[in-house]
Amino acid sequence: MLEDKNQEKTSLSELGEFGLIKHLTKHFSSYHKTTIKSVGDDAAVIDSSEKQTIVTTDLLIEGVHFDLSYMPLKHLGYKAVMVNLSDVYAMNAEAEQITVSIAISNRFPLEALEELYAGIQLACNTYNVDLIGGDTTSSTKGMLLSITAIGKANKEDVIYRSGAKPTDLVVVSGDLGGAYLGLQVLEREKQVFQVNPENQPDLDNYTYIIERQLKPEARKDIPELLKELDVKPTSMIDISDGLSSEIMHICTQSKTGCKLYEEKLPLDPQVISTCEEFEIDATMVALSGGEDYELLFTISIDDYDKIKGNPNLSVIGHITEENQGMNLVTRANQEIELKAQGWNSFKG
């Protein structure tokens, strides 16, 4: 009775994930002065006296966000925590607690869940985070994980997506595109395996990008590094859906444009060689790949000397006035408009 038989109804794919959340929550109002920031950033902010509490949540679903035929359960547990911690660090906050809710079908034995929790525990130990609760239940199909992460920050330290100003530099940590390419390699090997289960995959040439996909690390070190360097970003976001999509969030919320430079995009040599092998454009992968969990932020141009030459950071462009749009300057010195082609779970 709830199926969509009415052709006039709105399909979810028309809205996309961001449009959907915005649409569904636009009539909600805030009651508490302590609710500093709710929907619309990486995480919610709750005032707790001098410190502010940071809350973020993510839902990971088998068959949508992960494929257990090549994602070991321990890695899945680890990655699920990383996805959430990354959002806390993107607020320039310290992650302190997580809750983990899991639904699983009867096809999983206890030992499978133990593996999953071993990954969650490794993440908690490595990142000094406390598991403080959750819910465990059966599902009618497959596995899903819902994690909420909670962090703390001094009020004056919290960094939103909305603070970028024209002339600010756009900076990214680490390198881009690896996680997406790792997924392509794993998908290819899965298909080979389905045709010929005897075939032993040789993945030596892909170790880095496969690790980027299966065991990403949240960049806890970057806010610490920036503090040491005495640089406070004007805006910050983590790269979960691809660089294009994320810089567009910063520009939209900051009411600015931006200019990124293709030649400045940080690419690992394995990303470049694998792109050649797969005959895909490395720039496209860096812009739209997603799941890199690097931090993207903007800094005042006055801080350039403080970060210049740091091997963890790449300046990839600058913020412009809003009316100049959001553009990529190609190696051929052409300007093309950025498009958010990141992952949209309601498409396809």
Residues of span 136-195 touching its own copies by CB under 8 A: 136-142, 144, 146, 148, 150, 152
Q: How far is the CB of 292 from its own copies (least distance, A)?
A: 19
- Quote the CA–CA distance of 134 and 95 in Å, as a whole number: 17
**Whole-number Cα distances in Å, 91 to 45, 111, 115, 134:** 9, 35, 30, 23
Nearer to its own copies, 102 or 164 (CB): 102
What is d(CA 14, CA 50) in angstroms, rounded to the nearest whole number?
A: 42
Closer residue to its own copies (CB): 55 or 271: 55
Asked if residue 65 binds its own copies (CB under 8 A), the reply is: yes
Span interacting with its own copies, options 60-68, 163-171, 226-234, 257-265, rule CB under 8 A: 60-68
Work out how close the CB of 6 gets to its own copies at its nearest, in angstroms, rounded to a whole number.
Answer: 7
CA gap 284, 263 in Å, rounded: 12
Which of 81, 129, 179, 260 forms a contact with its own copies (CB under 8 A)? Answer: 129
Phi, psi of 31 (to 5 degrees): -100, -30
For residues 116 and 74, what is the distance between their CA atoms, to the nearest angstrom? 5
**Residue nearer to its own copies on the CB measure, 64 or 203:** 64
Q: Say how many CA atoms lie within 13 Å of 256 toward its Cβ.
A: 23
63 Cβ partners below 8 Å, 6+ apart? 142
Each residue 79-108 as x (binds its own copies by CB under 8 A) or -, in order, gives: -----------------xx-x-xxxx-xxx
Site map (CB under 8 A) of its own copies, residues 225-244, x = contact: --------------------
Q: In what order do the strands lie in the sheet with 257-261?
A: 235-238, 295-299, 169-173, 313-320, 257-261, 326-329, 335-337
Query: Mask 309-348, x = binds its own copies (CB under 8 A)?
Result: ------------------------------------xx--
Torsion angle of the four alpha carbons 233, 37, 43, 173, in this order, in degrees rounded to the nearest 10: -10
Residue (121 or 310) nearer to its own copies, CB: 121
Name the minimum Å distance from CB 130 to its own copies: 4
31-50 residues near its own copies, rule: CB under 8 A? 31-32, 34-35, 37-39, 43-44, 46, 48-50
